[in-house]
Structure 1
Amino acid sequence: MKPKLLTTLPAYTSRLLAADVIAGITVAMVALPLSIAIAIASGAPPAAGLVTAVIGGLIVSALGGSRVQIGGPTGAFIVVVYGIIQQFGFDGLLLATLMAGLILIIGAVVQAGRLIALIPEPVIEGFTIGIAVIIAVSQLKDLLGESIAQMPAEFVDIVPVLWSARGTINVAALAIGLATIVLILMLRRWTPRIPGSILAIAIASGAVALLALPVDTLHSRFGSLPNGIPMIALPPMSTELLIALLPSALVIAFLAGVESLLSAVVADRMIGGAHRSNAELLAQGAANIASPLFGGLPVTGAIARTATNVRAGGRTPIAGIVHALTILVVIVAAAPLAAYLTMPALAGLLIVTAWTMSEPDRWPERLRASASDRILLFLTFGLTVLSSLTVAIAIGTALGLAIQLQKRILASDSCP
């Protein structure tokens, strides 16, 4: 479980350092607004997302088993985190995340990193698409500028609430949100090497400030952002609370393990490398123990940010460390400016993120898959949206493994 950082340092050169610094700063510019948006969508304070990017980014890069993995908060956790906060409060989320970190470390010790191969790909795709749909729909409130006191946790309740508040739609907010989406997509197409998301959000937020538009900002809704990392503190705990939070901790650990190892696999394909799965689980465990101690969210490997790191020239864990330190510098030096980011622009960013998560270009391939794979995908998707992520993962994985077992039995029976 040797960290990749120790492997790369002996042959480290000034050329690698220059490339890693540029890549790290580039990824930080992508991660900064996204971390804030993910925290808000999760029902957490905006600063929690930034803390997660700093603490998680540092630990995942320092201890992880991938050369280019970027750790931090991701959209896949929004649904889970929102539900935990609604049921147990923010302190309950911190404790569940800490417990998940311990579970991940146990997983690394027992060499559970290889078990990722047992989860059927249609199940992973099904719950990922389901999460993307929930994220996109949940952001319509801020995109439309609707006045809703409290958004429900269940997807089936969100649409009726949005429809009932249609009379409060803010045209200025809608225009800013749509303009942000269009600008992000245009910048991605025209200047893919430039972090267009932060540029688009900065332009939209600047327009709101200059034109004095009646649109919510981080400051108007949450107040000023802190200009530093909070002091370390243990969340309140009791035996009863630990038992009640165990299912949530298991889901966080499962998602963190699956997403981080999938991200590491994607990174391997991009750089022609090979990650160490159990070292990656160990790093994710350490990050998920540390993050809640500073008031942060669950941490995992971020596929989109990892890919951005690779495309920007990052080739060692130093790039991930630079990314985390860059966000820390922004928190310390420019927190008052970040407070003027507009809510519709951040909602637009998350809607684009949800669209990217769903990988729409892969639908032709999905529809050509076997009948059993299509059933698994749509079943997991439906259960994620209409029931819960826990139920979707449990039923989808169990059914997928049963199908795989049946295929092996039939194949062995057909052999002479």
Structure 2
Amino acid sequence: MFINQRFHQYSLKSLPKDLVSGLIVGVIAIPLGMAFAIASGVKPEYGIYTTIVAGILISLFGGSKYQIGGPTGAFIPILFGIVMTYGYENLLIAGFMAGIILLLLGIFKLGSLIKYIPRPVTIGFTTGIAVTIFTGQIASFLGLEGMKRHEEFVKNIQEIFVHLHTTNVYSILTAGICLVTIILTPKIAPKVPGPLIGLMVSTLFATMLFPDQVATIGTAYGQIPSSLPKFHIPDINLDVMMNLIKPAFIIAMLGGIESLLSAVVADGMTNSRHNSNKELIGQGIANMVTPLFGGIPATGAIARTATNIKNGAVSPLSGIIHGIVVLLVLIFFAQYASYIPLASMAPILMVVAWNMSERKVFGHILKTKSTDALVLVVTFLLTVFVNLTLAVEVGLVMSAILFVKRMSDIMITAKALPNYETKRKKVETGMVSDTHDCPQISIFNIEGPLFFGAALTFEETIMKTINYRPKILLLRMGRVPFMDTTGEANLSRIVHHFSKNGIVILSGLNPQPEMVLKKTGLYDMIGKEHFFEHTGDAIQFALEQINKNKCLGCKHFAFHECKELSKSESVESGRKKLTATF
């Protein structure tokens, strides 16, 4: 039923468009799939398997009509680290577990939560990944020999310098031809896939002019099989799962972020709207099935999805066709892949890294010189010099702390009085002074969310006035959109202290804070009669509660009624004196 909905109102007129876009994207995906697999520390055919299986399943079950799934550059540092630490077989298990996590996120409709990851964090780790990918291809570009690959960025850079003397001029020439071809092809023929043309031209050039002078896929990894591997269930047990839960979670989170970002890009290009939860379900299914055929983790590929749309894709059928195209190429042309030089793969990944680097956005955020820029830089540096896991964790924690700080800074708790010089006589801050303040009624404007980050400051500011012992404490809460239990606890302490000698009244209370107060019982403790919709009614009530004898001689005149109260009190005082005389 779900698949039928995805092809609802599909007509045969749309088939040629999907065939063309699927064919073009499939051709583009072949060199990328192999390159991503090699950079991730596994055999190139595993990238092909992923492109076929995950590409078809994501198009079948995902939440975006135009999404193209497969291996992506964002996964390279993560997958390489898992392969180095746990091995290829455990990478398959981690990918399978990540699929389960993504499936559960989609089923429980948690797809929207991933959207709340701050942009400085995503830009920071994306740019960091791009730097890692780019520098990781320098050795292949130069044809360095005897290189050992490490998880640590610094050690990999050291390896390059140590083995710089083994530079192969033929590798540089091959890589240079491929790079120039990739750059020039879009300018000459925009619809022709540059990576594939660069791969073919540089491979022919190296094979014909200097055979056996550069390392190839065949010499490094052997012959690529011309068929999918047999269905294989990895050996999973509880100990292995516990050991791999952290990398699996990172794969799931990164895969979810990448796929939803890609779907958003597709929405913007087509004026459509994806279903984020269904997209995660599709990603989950794909990542659960792909490891059973030897494939590595997959996600939505932004560049291939954009190419799919630009070439006229109408439905998910284009993504299915793209997977079938790669399968046919694997069956009929896999034998020729062994001739591809490793130096030809390096420029493809370098261009991918350059395009995903978000350098313009990175520079734009830096220009703000704000806390967002700090989060960006820290996330970027940790991604490059430590690892993506820690970078995301620290980036999120920093963002949360800085957000709380910003929200607490905008919280306003200030004394206020009516401004009778204005037409509407609004209750404003800045009206209170030593000579203009009611000794019996204290009014406070409360503005901003009353939550754990601002609650203590709110309480301390209010409590200072209790020393003056006013009769009435009026809290104007109309601009408090939200209150948590910490804010309620601080308000409760104020009410307890103040109610011993006075009355607490509130005006303009919003629905959410009111609900919190009712659930905790503080609403009943304050008393329903002490809640007012309008401040004017609250002030009128407060004036009825004050000790009018204390108004005698008061020159503050905080309210319009003060002059009349002061006058009537003076007359009443005169009458009492006159009566006493007689």
TM-score (norm 2): 0.69
Q: What does residue range 57-136 of structure 1 map to in structure 2 within 5 Å? A: 57-136=55-134
Measured after TM superposition, the shift of residue 180 of structure 1 is 1.2
Q: State the partner residue of 1:48.
A: 46
Q: State the partner residue of 2:391.
A: 392
Measured after TM superposition, the shift of residue 216 of structure 1 is 1.1
Structure 2 counterpart SS, 1:118: coil
Identify the structure with the greater strand proportion: 2
Post-superposition CA distance 1:107-140 (Å, at most 9, x none): 1111110002210011000000000000111111
Q: For the residues of structure 2 that align with 1:105 and 1:155, how far apart are their CA atoms?
A: 33
Q: Is the 8 A contact 2:147 2:160 kept in 1?
A: no
Task: Count how many residue pairs are aligned between Structure 1 and Structure 2.
Answer: 414
Q: Is the 8 A contact 1:41 1:82 kept in 2?
A: yes
> Could you tell me which amino acid in structure 2 is paired with residue 135 of structure 1?
I
Q: Which residue of 161, 172, 175 maps to 1:174?
A: 172
Q: State the partner residue of 1:371.
A: 370
Runs of 4+ with deviation above 4 angstroms: none
Q: State the partner residue of 2:36.
A: 38
Measured after TM superposition, the shift of residue 148 of structure 1 is 2.3
Q: Is the 8 A contact 2:124 2:362 kept in 1?
A: no
Q: State the partner residue of 1:311.
A: 310
Q: For the residues of structure 1 that align with 2:179 and 2:365, how far apart are their CA atoms?
A: 26
> Could you tell me which amino acid in structure 2 is paired with residue 187 of structure 1?
T
1:21 is the counterpart of 2:19: yes
Q: 1:95 to 1:363 in 2, by over 3 A?
A: closer
Measured after TM superposition, the shift of residue 212 of structure 1 is 2.9
Structure 2 counterpart SS, 1:263: helix
Q: State the partner residue of 1:152.
A: 150
Measured after TM superposition, the shift of residue 407 of structure 1 is 2.8
Structure 1 counterpart SS, 2:87: helix
> Could you tell me which amino acid in structure 2 is paired with residue 29 of structure 1?
V
Q: Flag structure 1 segments of 5+ consecutive residues without an equivalent.
A: none
Measured after TM superposition, the shift of residue 364 of structure 1 is 4.4
Q: For the residues of structure 1 that align with 2:28 and 2:368, how far apart are their CA atoms?
A: 34
Post-superposition CA distance 1:281-339 (Å, at most 9, x none): 00111111111111000010011111111111112100100000000000011101122
> Could you tell me which amino acid in structure 1 is paired with residue 5 of structure 2?
T
Post-superposition CA distance 1:264-293 (Å, at most 9, x none): 011100000100001000011111111111
Q: Is the 8 A contact 2:148 2:159 kept in 1?
A: no
Q: Is the 8 A contact 2:62 2:279 kept in 1?
A: yes
Structure 1 counterpart SS, 2:339: coil
Q: For the residues of structure 2 that align with 1:262 and 1:412, how far apart are their CA atoms?
A: 33
Q: For the residues of structure 2 that align with 1:381 and 1:361, how far apart are their CA atoms?
A: 14
1:259 is the counterpart of 2:258: yes
Q: State the partner residue of 2:352.
A: 353
Q: State the partner residue of 1:187.
A: 185
Q: For the residues of structure 2 that align with 1:371 and 1:398, how far apart are their CA atoms?
A: 16
1:240 is the counterpart of 2:245: no
Q: For the residues of structure 2 that align with 1:314 and 1:376, how far apart are their CA atoms?
A: 38
Measured after TM superposition, the shift of residue 190 of structure 1 is 2.9
> Could you tell me which amino acid in structure 2 is paired with residue 175 of structure 1?
L
> Could you tell me which amino acid in structure 1 is paired with residue 274 of structure 2?
H
Q: Is the 8 A contact 1:193 1:311 kept in 2?
A: no
Q: For the residues of structure 1 that align with 2:238 and 2:408, how far apart are their CA atoms?
A: 45
Q: State the partner residue of 2:462.
A: none
Pick the structure with greater CA Rg: 2
Q: For the residues of structure 2 that align with 1:400 and 1:105, how far apart are their CA atoms?
A: 27
Post-superposition CA distance 1:220-268 (Å, at most 9, x none): 1111101011111111223221111110100001111110011101110
Q: State the partner residue of 2:319.
A: 320
Post-superposition CA distance 1:50-71 (Å, at most 9, x none): 0000000000000000010000
Measured after TM superposition, the shift of residue 340 of structure 1 is 1.5
Q: Is the 8 A contact 2:30 2:48 kept in 1?
A: yes
Q: Is the 8 A contact 1:219 1:339 kept in 2?
A: yes
Q: Is the 8 A contact 2:123 2:361 kept in 1?
A: no
Deviates more, 1:310-319 or 1:355-364: 355-364
TM-score (norm 1): 0.96
Deviates more, 1:312-321 or 1:234-243: 234-243
Q: For the residues of structure 2 that align with 1:6 and 1:257, how far apart are their CA atoms?
A: 24
Measured after TM superposition, the shift of residue 412 of structure 1 is 4.3
Q: What's the C-alpha RMSD, in Å, of the aligned pairs?
A: 1.4
Q: Is the 8 A contact 1:384 1:392 kept in 2?
A: yes
Q: What does residue range 285-304 of structure 1 map to in structure 2 within 5 Å? A: 285-304=284-303
Post-superposition CA distance 1:82-122 (Å, at most 9, x none): 11011111001001111111111111111110002210011
Q: For the residues of structure 1 that align with 2:105 and 2:6, how far apart are their CA atoms?
A: 25
Q: For the residues of structure 1 that align with 2:92 and 2:391, how far apart are their CA atoms?
A: 24
Q: For the residues of structure 1 that align with 2:228 and 2:347, how far apart are their CA atoms?
A: 27
Deviates more, 1:187-196 or 1:386-395: 187-196
